[in-house]
Structure 1
Amino acid sequence: MARLSEAGLDAWYLEDGWLRRKYSTDGWPTTLMLVNAIGYLCEAAYHHADLSVTWAKVWVKLKTHSEGGITDKDFALARKIEEVVLWRPEAGGPLEGTPNKFVQAKK
């Protein structure tokens, strides 16, 4: 798991040959926004995640099918997903940020 930590992916884990992450949200509207954001990043990267979606949770699974396992592509996409979906405006900046729980950063 050292590689996950070194890659800044502490909340991600390896299971059954996949790089995985569970995100919790504050409800269905945020879940849909999260799925769309991940979908956009996957399409832009041309490297597609498997997603499982419920009312307030999204599970992301990554592996490179053509290579039969997890590659640098998966780590790069996981980092980009993490960066984008957990982004919040900095305190004291011009953007206020949502008061809602939104997407929770915890594992």
Structure 2
Amino acid sequence: MKLDDATIEKKLLQFPDWDYYNNAIHSEFEFDNFKDCFSAMSRIAFECEAQNHHPNWSNVYNVLKISLSTHDVGGVSQKDFKLAEAIENIVEVEE
């Protein structure tokens, strides 16, 4: 189910590193080097497969940009926040 803007903004209070725009939630993570970034991406990829929910993401050297939305509902759903929480936990461990 697609979440409304007010619900998304309220949920984002628990995710200070994430922003909501263009019908998705977005974050950017910076690592010490490419290896650490790629390691986090690998761990995130396994979590994405487990949740069967996949981000739009890009990587340049030590920076990982992630956008989450749920195509089936045409916007942000609870699935996106569940994956964002898992990503936060993975990135925290890396740092």
TM-score (norm 2): 0.85
Of the three residues 81, 87, 95, the one matched with 1:81 is: 87
Residue 2 of structure 1 deviates from its aligned partner by: 2.9
Deviations 1:58-104 (A, max 9, x none): 001100001100000001110111012212xxxxxxxxxxxxxx64x
Percentage identity across aligned positions? 26
Aligned residue runs from structure 1 range 19-98, under 5 A: 19-87=25-93
| Structure 2: distance between partners of 1:44 and 1:78 | 14
Q: Is the 8 A contact 2:40 2:90 kept in 1?
A: no
User: 2:10 aligns to what?
Assistant: 2
Instruction: Work out whether residues 18 and 70 of structure 1, in 8 Å CA contact, stay in contact via their aligned partners in 2.
Output: yes
Structure 2 residue matching 1:22: 3-state secondary structure: strand
Secondary structure of the 1:48 match is coil
| Number of matched pairs | 87
Distance 1:76 1:28 in 2: 26
Gaps spanning 5+ residues in structure 1: where? 88-101
RMSD: 1.2
State the TM-score, normalized to the length of structure 1: 0.76
- For residues 41 and 86 of structure 2, the distance between their equivalents in structure 1, rounded to whole angstroms, comes to 14
Q: Which runs of 4+ in 1 moved over 6 A?
A: none
Over alpha carbons, which structure has the higher Rg? 1
Listed as ranges, the gaps of 5+ residues in structure 2 are 1-8
Q: Distance in 1 between matches of 2:34 and 2:86?
A: 23
More helix by share: 2
